[in-house]
Amino acid sequence: MENLLRSFDPSNGDKIGEVAVSAPERIQKKVSFAHGAANGWRNLGLDGRLAFLKKAWAGVEPHIRELAELMSKEMGKDIQRSTGEASGIVFGGPYIAQEAMDALGPKSAGGQTTIEYRSLGVVAVISPWNYPLAMANNLIVPALMAGNPVVFKPSEETPLVGDFFVEILNRVLPQHVLQIVHGDGEQGRTLVESQVNLIAFTGSQAVGKDIMTRAAKGLKRLVMELGGNDPMIVLNDADIGSAVRFAVASSFENAGQMCISTERIYVDEQIAELFETQVTALASKYKTGPWNMPGVNIGPIVNKKQHAMIIDHIRDAEDKGARVLLGGSDQLAPYIQPTVVTDMTPDMIMEKDETFGPVIAMSRFKTVDEAVDRANNSRYGLGAVVFGKKEAQAVANRLEAGMVGINQGVGGGNAPWVGAKQSGFGFHGSPEGHRQFSQVRVVSR
């Protein structure tokens, strides 16, 4: 009897659909098929691959609404956000492909020496459930443009939208250039240990460390983004209105299920009371509900395990003396109402680990040194933000993160998506990131 992976709507528990779980031997066969397709795909050259990708991604456009609704049903985000994500990949696919083409062309190294960027082989892409199309797109496109066939494993929480996305693209792409496997950690481990040449992964630190261990046996290349516990520092001369809006929006976006969500806020004690009052007032305006309810800002938490973890973080803070200004730990699945906590201390779980839910956690500081020390006291280092005027740049220079925002969020422009410390191993995005999907070859004539 075929083993099936069933997908459920987190807002009501209704079954949406199912896909077949990929048996280990089937995964190995798909990787073999990918190697068989590698020469033909590589030999098309950059121009030929770009033409295929542009045509394939153009075929996604008529299905934006279907993809968006499927995404909303599977992981809970409201239809407006899902539509934005689905639309984004239609634009982003060809954009990334063109950017990768420009990055992967041969470069002169001076004299008679040329730097070439060649294909590596087969790339395994393992992507998360919180942005099931965008995260996959950001890894699949540069891998394909570098001449590598891809075997893609979407999260077991969002298999249907991943499956439909690949099915649309394969109406155009050559056979076995892009394949999909389904399942949970067992299938992921099988894929990692198969004869792939590079693993591109976005997910948790624990899984990332396991992938590194398994990949080490074959010295396989890795591009991994492993989450964050992003701090925000609010200095006493900050524009409080701007800082409040950012703090609430960044903490609640995608129900807080975002790797660069603001997880820890350190506020100068001189302005803390005003800041906390305004944050609570704005947070109270956010509305929870299912994906198709008008005016919803915060959808359901993706599953019961994640919901329980968020409640544990809130309850731990309550037990250790935090003040709850809004919401709290007495909440039933699948929703977490907007929650605001202050007087966070270093021994609380939510200061040490990412809560990954719609929770604003704040603490007051007396000195800038104290704020910086607490912001940096983490094994994570994905993003960090500082709001202020006179000292903002100096504080930003001291923050240990791959991406830092000054009076705004992180990222933007033609920059890589990169983490420091244990938030990343390698990086993607930007010309430098696209080249990580290639083998650098130096040719001297």
Active site residues: 225, 259
Amino acid at 303: N
Structure tokens at 436: 């990580």
Sign of CA dihedral 413, 427, 305, 319: negative
Contacts of 422 (CB under 8 A, 6+ apart): 205, 226, 379, 380, 381
Q: Give strand pairing partners of 151.
A: 124, 179
Q: How far is CA 345 from CA 234, 275, 341, 354, 380, in A?
A: 17, 18, 11, 14, 17
Residue ranges of alpha helices (H) inside 290-422 are 304-319, 349-352, 368-376, 392-398
| Cβ atoms within 10 Å of 55's Cβ, excluding its own | 14
Secondary structure class of 438 (helix, strand, coil): strand
Do residues 334 and 288 make contact, with C-beta atoms less than 8 angstroms apart? no
